[in-house]
Amino acid sequence: MENINIDRAEQLKAKLQEASYAYYVLDNPIMEDTIYDQLYRELQDLENEYPNLITADSPTQRVGDKLDKQFNSVKHNIPLYSLENAFNFEELNNWQNRWQRQLENIPKFNYNCELKIDGSAIALTYKNGIFIRGLTRGDGVTGEDITHNLRTIRSIPLRLNMDNPPPILEVRGEAFLPLEEFNRINEEREKNQENLFANPRNATAGTLRQLDPKIVSERKLQFFAYNVYFNPDNNLLDTQDQALKFLQQIGFLVNPNYQVFTDLNQVKQYLDTWEIKRKKLPYMTDGVVVKINQFTLQNELGFTQKFPRWAIAVKYPAEEMTTTVEKIIVNVGRTGAVTPLAIMKPVTLGGTIVQRATLHNLDRVRELDIRVGDTVIIRKAGEIIPEVVEVIKDLRPTESQPYEMPSHCPECNSILVRPDKEAVTRCVNSSCPAILRGSLIHWASRDAMDIRGLGEKVIISLLDYKLVKSIADLYKLQTFEIADLERMGEKSAQKLITAIEHSKKQPFHRVLYGLGIRYVGASNAQILVNNLHSIDNLIKAKKEDLELIYGIGEEITNSILEWSSISENITLVEELRSLNLNLQQENNHSDSKKKLSNKTFILTGTLPTLKRNDAKKLIESAGGKVSGSISSKINYVVVGEDAGSKLEKALKLNLKIINESELLELINS
- Give the residue among 481, 476, 505, 475 at the shortest CA–CA distance from 493: 481
Residue type, 583: L
CA dihedral over 509, 514, 515, 516, signed as positive or negative: positive
Provide CB contacts within 8 A for 249, sequence distance 6+. 161
Alpha helices, DSSP H, located in 25-159 = 33-49, 89-101, 147-150
Question: CB of 394 within 8 A of CB of 384?
Answer: no
Q: Can you give the length of the chain in residues? A: 669
Determine which one of 116, 291, 617, 646 is catalytic. 116
- Active-site residue, 116 included: yes
- Give the residue among 3, 15, 134 at the shortest CA–CA distance from 71: 134
**C-alpha angle with apex 551: 444 to 520, nearest 5 degrees?**
20
Long-range contacts at 386-393 (CB < 8 A, ≥ 24 apart) = 386/349, 386/354, 386/356, 386/357, 386/358, 387/357, 387/358, 387/359, 387/360, 388/342, 388/357, 388/358, 388/359, 389/320, 392/15, 392/322, 393/369
- DSSP state letters, 502-563: HGGGS-HHHHHHHTT-TT--HHHHHHHHHHH-BHHHHHH--HHHHHTSTT--HHHHHHHHHH
Distance CA 182, CA 203 (A): 7
Distance CA 198, CA 205 (A): 11
C-alpha distances (whole Å) from 368 to each of 11, 346, 417, 570, 582 are 20, 20, 22, 42, 46
Which residues form the catalytic set?
A: 116
